[in-house]
Amino acid sequence: MAKNKNNIDLKEEQPKKGFLKKMFVGKAEQKKVLQIIKTKKNQNLYFYTDVNNILLILENGIRLVKDQKLNKGEEYVVWTYLENNNSIGLEFDSSTRAHFWKWASEAKVDVEKISVIGINPVNLAKICKKDWALDNAGNIVYVYETIPVDAIDFIMIKDKANLKRIETYVNANDINIDVFYGETGNINKKEKEVK
């Protein structure tokens, strides 16, 4: 269980700050995460989800489980590893992806249905109103609000049947996100064109 020094379960509860700390320290955890990312030269934070969730994410961003609003017949597969009622967990760079793949194999998840979403932490920090929480032991950053589409850099899909459908949606809606096929699960982002 991800807990901080105050023994709060970070997955379900954002750490409380006193009034003075809010005024003078602001988004201290967010700043700490950005410093780690800069020091380790990471470019993205990773979110893993079922490929069938991608179109809903492209329409609404990555929402907290409690905020999911589905139409009749829609389905959203929640992976409790990173998705909770009150938080969205994001992993650091590829060195921690082993945690996810271990969890996926133990949970007997069909890896062809796994999509990796790369979140740009700098863009996310500009958009977020709430501070984040850092679970040092699990190398997970907890975000306590919707992660908008504008913070997504790329989507890696291992299922060719869904790849074309998602590429078509992204292109038709002029969304600035790289979508690519990741046969091995490796992240091989396309270089963005300079305009």
For 23-75, the pLDDT digits (tens) are: 445 688 899 999 998 988 888 999 999 999 999 999 999 999 899 888 888 88
Q: What is the pLDDT of residue 59?
A: 93
Q: What is the pLDDT of residue 188?
A: 54
The domains of the chain are located at 24-180
Rounded to 5, what percent of the chain is helix, strand, coil? 35, 20, 45
Tokens 């590829």 locate to 94
- Taking residues 92-115, report their average pLDDT: 74
Tokens 């589905």 locate to 70
For 87-103, the pLDDT digits (tens) are: 999 998 755 566 677 77
Q: Give the count of alpha carbons within 13 A of 69, CB side only.
A: 5
Distance, CA of 170 to CA of 77 (rounded, Å): 21
- 67-70 long-range contacts (CB < 8 A, ≥24 apart) are 67/146
| Percentage of residues of the chain with pLDDT beyond 70 | 76
Q: What is the pLDDT of residue 46?
A: 92
- Taking residues 125-143, report their average pLDDT: 91
138 has pLDDT over 60: yes
104 has pLDDT over 70: yes
Q: What is the pLDDT of residue 34?
A: 93
Say which residues have a Cβ less than 8 Å from residue 136's Cβ, sequence separation at least 6.
none
